[in-house]
Amino acid sequence: MTNSLKLGFTSFDRLRGVLVVFCSEGLKFGPATQKVLLPIGDLHRRAAAADRFTGKKASALDIIAPTGLNVPRLVIVGTGKERELKERDLVRLGGVAMGKIPIAAPQATIFAEFAGGALKGEQVAHLALGGRLRAYTFDRYKTKRKEDEERAKKMEVNFACAGSAAAEKAWARTMGVADGVVLARDLTNEPANVLYPGEFARRASALRRLGLIVEVLDVAAMKKLGMGALLGVGQGSAHEPKLVVMRWNGGKRGADPIAFIGKGVCFDTGGISIKPAQGMEDMKGDMAGAACVVGLMQALAARKAKVNVVGAIGLVENMPDGKAQRPGDIVTTMSGQTVEVINTDAEGRLVLADVLHYINKRFKPKFMIDLATLTGAIMVALGQEYAGVFSNDDKLAERLSKAGEATDERVWRMPLGPEYDKIIDSKIADMKNTGGRFAGSITAAQFLQRFVSKTPWVHLDIAGTALGSPQTDINKSWSSGWGVRLLDRLVEDYYER
């Protein structure tokens, strides 16, 4: 049942299928658009008046079988006031345009021109990115459909532009990012009976085809390293934990890498501290941080990023079982620090503690950024609009915030400090894995900070942004693939030589 979308670039004189054009506030069109609309006279202006369409940003007008034009449907998408348009607006408008193409249409042409004239190659690529992400569906498990859900078997969408060579060149780069987001969404949407640690490791290993070096550490290897915290979380599951280390060496030989670390809890039942049934199915997505890291590594490799990067994901399943870890158990982490497990549902930090320490020790990275669906509390604080940022490095946090504004994957800085840190001190071990009801996201971050030493570090709590995402113009799926675009941008703007 999977449908395929073919994106291409063409010139303004090749019209095929549904036609989508843009206009700014007050129904102003660019020259190529005016030319193509000439044969319909004032039809679109009358339709606009009838529908009170004025060209407001992201609004749209549908004209079916327009007399004079040999297309099944003409869609006009408003851009609003054009002087204000930023990259994130282009991406969004690409999503709106794609969303107006009926799912059963086999062909469409999107005019990459605004009232101010034809878009530059890079801008066309931004439109196409929005289009690609909007068209994403996770439908591999649907074996039948209702009549009105029937899709075209193959859909071909062409962006008409002034210079298709420039657009194609820009897209070749942006497409890698789009593919990375799609991969992250796919992995996160995949159910836990299919995507358990071993299978996740296999899918990450498939990135070797892009030139990545991928190592998979099994339980024996992790035991040898002393990863008692990660292994404790996984010990109640029939699926063995895995630790995957991916490397992309596109930078100077021997230069210190940058590192991304993902929480990969393939399913989080809570363990012995079991979660309530209501909504527990969403915990198949408790590996969204790991999915983002894999999507990012794919994006960086696909565009041959000029930087040395390590991506590491700790893969476990948190289950209740006769062999499962108990509340009150004390585990010894690879760092040597001991943890009293107060609540087995605070498992993500236990997994990350060992992976952060291992990556820091082995690679001495310039910085580490971890991504984790770590706490429900971050949703209480920030909702689903911003991810929480916790950092020991102001410059890194600031750069991340700028990359967030550019890509519209926004982040909000949260505090850290000794007053919060002491909340997780334990009477009988070095620390506890929970700090109680207050400041839940912060005490979780304090826990992680105990495993990063002085290395510049950012923790992104993505529990609100990665899963059950609000429907937007560029995502209709449960999983957003959040973070791939953000981190790709951070790397591109600040760390490629």
Interaction site with Zn ion (CB under 5 A): 265, 268, 286, 348
Q: How far is the CB of 374 from Zn ion (least distance, A)?
A: 7
Q: Is 242 a catalytic residue?
A: no
- Which residue's CB comes closest to Mn ion? 345
Q: Nearest-5° angle of CA 95, CA 96, CA 100?
A: 115
Q: How many CB atoms lie within 10 A of CB 145?
A: 11
The residue among 317 and 347 lying less far from Mn ion, judged by its C-beta, is 347
The residue among 268 and 409 lying less far from Mn ion, judged by its C-beta, is 268
Determine the Cα–Cα distance for residues 430 and 450; give it in Å rounded to an integer.
10
Question: Which amino acid type is present at position 264?
Answer: G
Interactions with Mn ion, residue window 315-354 (CB under 5 A): 345, 347
| Binding status of residue 446 toward ligand BES by CB under 6 A | no
| Binding status of residue 376 toward ligand BES by CB under 6 A | yes
Q: How far is the CB of 276 from ligand BES (least distance, A)?
A: 11
| Binding status of residue 377 toward ligand BES by CB under 6 A | yes
User: Which entry of 134, 151, 185, 349 is annotated as an active-site residue?
Assistant: 349
| Binding status of residue 463 toward ligand BES by CB under 6 A | yes
333 close to 447: Cβ distance less than 8 angstroms: no
Determine the Cα–Cα distance for residues 164 and 306; give it in Å rounded to an integer.
26
For residue 166, the SS3 value is: helix
92 close to 125: Cβ distance less than 8 angstroms: no
| Binding status of residue 286 toward ligand BES by CB under 6 A | yes
The residue among 55 and 271 lying less far from Zn ion, judged by its C-beta, is 271
Nearest to 234 by CA among 289, 189, 287, 310: 287
* The binder of ligand BES chosen from 268, 354, 370, 488 (CB under 6 A): 268
| Binding status of residue 440 toward ligand BES by CB under 6 A | yes
Q: How far is the CB of 346 from ligand BES (least distance, A)?
A: 4
| Binding status of residue 333 toward ligand BES by CB under 6 A | no
Query: Chain centroid to CA 491: how far?
Result: 15
Query: What's the full length of the chain, in residues?
Result: 497
| Binding status of residue 23 toward ligand BES by CB under 6 A | no
- Which residue's CB comes closest to ligand BES? 376
| Binding status of residue 259 toward ligand BES by CB under 6 A | no
User: Which entry of 56, 120, 169, 275 is annotated as an active-site residue?
Assistant: 275
Residue for token pair 């990259």: 87
> Count of residues binding ligand BES (CB under 6 A)?
15
Determine the Cα–Cα distance for residues 84 and 82; give it in Å rounded to an integer.
5
The residue among 367 and 390 lying less far from Zn ion, judged by its C-beta, is 390
The residue among 391 and 434 lying less far from ligand BES, judged by its C-beta, is 434
For residue 463, the SS3 value is: coil
| Binding status of residue 370 toward ligand BES by CB under 6 A | no
Nearest to 360 by CA among 251, 440, 245: 245
Q: Is 134 a catalytic residue?
A: no
DSSP assignment of 199-226 equals HHHHHHHGGGGGT-EEEEE-HHHHHHHT
Determine the Cα–Cα distance for residues 157 and 110; give it in Å rounded to an integer.
7
343 binds, among Zn ion, Mn ion, ligand BES, none (CB under 5 to 8 A by kind): ligand BES
The residue among 267 and 363 lying less far from ligand BES, judged by its C-beta, is 267
Q: How far is the CB of 294 from ligand BES (least distance, A)?
A: 18
Determine the Cα–Cα distance for residues 186 and 139; give it in Å rounded to an integer.
10
Site string for Mn ion, 253-272 (x = CB under 5 A): ---------------x----
Residue for token pair 């010139």: 11
Distances (CA, A) of 92 to 36, 70, 175, 443: 24, 28, 16, 36
Helices (H), 8-120: 31-37, 43-51, 87-99
Binding site for ligand BES (CB under 6 A): 268, 286, 343, 345-348, 373, 375-377, 434, 440, 463, 467
**Among all residues, which ones are annotated catalytic?**
275, 349
